[in-house]
Amino acid sequence: MTIYIVDDNHDLVEFLACLLEDTGYKVHPFIHPEDALAHMKAHNIQPLTLITDYNLPLMNGYQLYKATQSHAPKVKTIVISGRDVSTVIGGLSFLQKPFTPEQLIQMINRL
């Protein structure tokens, strides 16, 4: 399964990438949402899962999800944030920071 991780916190992106790669997933980590979108299109990758922070520069995580859908319409998305944004993400899965590695893996498995 291919997972895209997008968060402007480099340390968190690196941690999540290592965690998920060790769990057996193919991971593409990004700091900037526009880089993730460009990578998907340039390499014709349709990720099955997108893990994105809500608060990103230039677009929020929900906007990134909507932009990703035009290229990967079946993408399952987990939005992460330090504050509760569950009411503004259109029914997407939400995980509030801080969360445990187990919580993230369980949520991915449920998707």
Q: The domain 2-110 is classified under which CATH number: 3.40.50.720, 3.40.50.2300, 3.40.630.40, 1.10.1040.10? A: 3.40.50.2300
How would you write the pLDDT of the chain (111 residues) with one tens digit per residue? 899 999 999 999 999 999 999 999 999 999 999 999 999 999 999 999 999 999 998 999 999 999 999 999 999 999 999 999 999 999 999 999 999 999 999 999 999
Q: What is the model's pLDDT at position 40?
A: 97
Phi, psi of 81 (to 5 degrees): -165, 155
Do the Cβ atoms of 48 and 2 come closer than 8 Å?
A: yes
Residue holding tokens 């520069």? 57
Q: What is the model's pLDDT at position 1?
A: 87
Kindly report the pTM of this predicted structure: 0.95
